[in-house]
Amino acid sequence: MSPDRKDTHITPLHGAGGELMGELLERLILPRFGKEAVGRIGLDALDDGATIALPEGETGELVLTTDSHVVKPIFFPGGDIGRLAAAGTINDLAVMGARPIALTLAAIIEEGFPIPDLERIIESFAAALEEVDAPVVCGDTKVMPAGDVDGIVLNTTGLGIARHAISDAGLRPGDRVLLTGSIGDHGMALLAAREEFSLSTRLESDVAPIWPMFAPLLESDICEAIHAMKDPTRGGLAAALNEMARKSSTCIEIEETRIPMRSAARGLSELLGISPLEVANEGKAVVIVAPEAAEAALRVLREHPLGADAAIVGTVTEEYPTRVILDTEVGGRRFLDMPLGDPVPRIC
Ligand code: MG
């Protein structure tokens, strides 16, 4: 190894708890996250843990979630693993009705990983957190020998606070099904970017933290009328709807023509023979609302750029409990089944 390789590439010492790891933290992490303590002991204390002061006067429930990110490629059209790790965790909090108050970031990095790439990923993670004004309070770095891990894996835990946490099982017959925007963008953009296809497309991943779109909705009276929410990630819209129908023993009926979809996503799905309803989305949510509040909820969502294409796409019924029905474009009617899994591995 050349003497200065440690300045440009990750070496085993960067994860070994000594000088080199300290330097990496000083250079990459602390300037971006260190100043935002939400408790007495924050990230810059580099203690064994961080403390989080409960927001003053706030009542409600703390919500905790965790996620690991193994996406391939690490940099993809519309985002990268850093933005994805932030959005993935923040969105799980958001669909439970929780405002993010603190996150953790753990990185498992392959020896030889370029430090400029790591810097770009950290930068992107930090930028996504700025969109929701939430800090990283603690983290971890491990280095694995070359070949033992593919590039980089990120794990993020998020702590949020909700007035009243919203589950994904509260559907009631008569409720309306809202989608906050176009379906299939992340999965299809990633597929197109994979080496085996390397298709040129204008389609970009929708990866984004959706809390800012939800905040006005959850802080309004409409909040009471929201019966369930879920982010359609792995397995896409089909998996999310089936899970919700099963958990609540209701039937969800969706009108295919109302599902917002970009023409590029539709085109790619036809070319590759993969349903856009079965691939991951990383900046969208399914919102189940009482019928009398559906139009009002739609208006609030559409006021935010992330919800500009929001639409009411279906209704909760009692017809076939635990099943999802799709009214198709050609006038047919069929079950939309739970996919076996996401057709695209390492999508998030
Ligand atoms: Mg989720």
CB atoms closer than 10 angstroms to residue 345: 10
CA distances for 15 relative to 46, 55, 70, 146, 171, angstroms = 15, 34, 19, 13, 46
Q: Same domain for 20 and 156?
A: yes
Task: State the distance from the centre of ligand 1 to the C-alpha of 167, rounded, in angstroms.
Answer: 11
Q: Any idea what the CATH number is for the domain that residue 148 is in?
A: 3.30.1330.10
pLDDT at 71 over 90: yes
Q: Same domain for 322 and 200?
A: yes
The answer to whether the pTM exceeds 0.85 is: yes
Task: State the distance from the centre of ligand 1 to the C-alpha of 295, rounded, in angstroms.
Answer: 24
Higher pLDDT, 45 or 107: 107
CB atoms closer than 10 angstroms to residue 304: 17
pLDDT at 196 over 80: no
The CA distance from 300 to 291, in Å, is 15
Task: State the distance from the centre of ligand 1 to the C-alpha of 68, rounded, in angstroms.
Answer: 12
Q: Same domain for 207 and 331?
A: yes
pLDDT given at position 36: 67
Mean pLDDT of 34-45: 82
Task: State the distance from the centre of ligand 1 to the C-alpha of 92, rounded, in angstroms.
Answer: 5
What's the half-sphere exposure (Cβ side, CA atoms, 13 Å) at 69? Answer: 29
Domain count, the chain: 2
pLDDT given at position 56: 81
Beta bridge partners of 328: none
| Own/partner long-range contacts of 24-27 (Cβ < 8 Å, ≥24 apart) | 24/115, 24/141, 25/141
pLDDT at 229 over 90: yes
Q: Is 224 helix (H, G, I), strand (E, B) or coil?
A: helix
Task: State the distance from the centre of ligand 1 to the C-alpha of 66, rounded, in angstroms.
Answer: 10
**Angle subtended by helix axes 294-302 and 211-218, to nearest 10:** 140
Task: State the distance from the centre of ligand 1 to the C-alpha of 96, rounded, in angstroms.
Answer: 9
Q: Same domain for 144 and 201?
A: no
Q: Same domain for 189 and 156?
A: no
Q: Is 158 helix (H, G, I), strand (E, B) or coil?
A: strand
The CA distance from 5 to 276, in Å, is 43
Q: Same domain for 99 and 208?
A: no
The CA distance from 218 to 205, in Å, is 26
Task: State the distance from the centre of ligand 1 to the C-alpha of 21, rounded, in angstroms.
Answer: 33
Mean pLDDT of 286-311: 98
